[in-house]
């Protein structure tokens, strides 16, 4: 009923205003996934030689061993007697004193000792292996018509300055050990098995 009217076209570009101020910084977004490791870099230059370290502790000897014998017989008396040995087979670092008949511990640890004697027929054999002044083990043989070889062995834990030696029992009974110049019938031996500082 009415004639069509054309709609006017507006150019928007002419309506654009001036650039506004920069807004506030937004909140930080979430972290992304970790990336793969990069390639290994080149070897760096060799560093300078370091200074000399402090000197270490002095090396200590961890060895001890002896083996001695006696060529002379021995009879009991009215008092205890230390068995003195006259033959030296092994005496590492002279830890066994041939004059006193005693082993002196300079290297603490676990030791093995062995005593071998020849009994005297018709006489008793009665000795002790001693640690300091303590009777540790006995070597005993009853009176018999025949003389025999008799032995005793043990292990002891020793501290520095401990002494191990052999004592003949005093003469309440006829007590003796046999030996002669041509052969060695009496022996006493010992050696370090494990040093005290070893695990």
Alpha carbons 105 and 60: distance in angstroms, whole number: 14
pLDDT attached to residue 134: 96
- pTM (2 decimals)? 0.68
- Enter the CATH code of domain 70-195: 2.60.120.40
Query: Does 6 score more than 60 pLDDT?
Result: yes
Q: What is the pLDDT of residues 72-112, one digit of tens each?
A: 999 988 889 999 999 999 999 999 999 999 999 999 999 99
As a whole number, mean pLDDT of residues 36-47 equals: 81
Domain residue limits, the chain:
70-195
Minimum mean pLDDT range among 34-38, 54-58, 182-186: 54-58
């Amino acid at each position: 009923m009415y004639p069509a009217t054309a709609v006017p076209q507006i150019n928007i570009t002419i309506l654009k205003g001036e650039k506004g101020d920069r807004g506030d910084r937004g909140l930080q977004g979430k972290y992304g996934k970790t990336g793969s490791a990069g390639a290994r870099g080149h070897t760096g230059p060799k560093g300078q030689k370091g200074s000399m370290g402090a000197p270490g502790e002095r090396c200590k000897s961890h060895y001890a061993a002896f083996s001695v014998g006696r060529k002379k017989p021995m009879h009991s008396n009215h008092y205890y007697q230390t068995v003195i040995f006259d033959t030296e087979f092994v005496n590492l670092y002279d830890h066994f004193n041939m004059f006193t008949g005693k082993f002196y511990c300079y290297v603490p640890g676990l030791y093995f000792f062995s005593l071998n004697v020849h009994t005297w027929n018709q006489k008793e054999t009665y000795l002790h292996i001693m640690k300091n002044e303590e009777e540790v083990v006995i070597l005993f043989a009853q009176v018999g018509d025949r003389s025999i070889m008799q032995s005793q062995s043990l292990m002891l834990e020793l501290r520095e300055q401990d002494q191990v030696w052999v004592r003949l029992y005093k003469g309440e009974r006829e007590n003796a050990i046999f030996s002669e110049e041509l052969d060695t019938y009496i022996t006493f031996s010992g050696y370090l098995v494990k040093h005290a500082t070893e695990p």
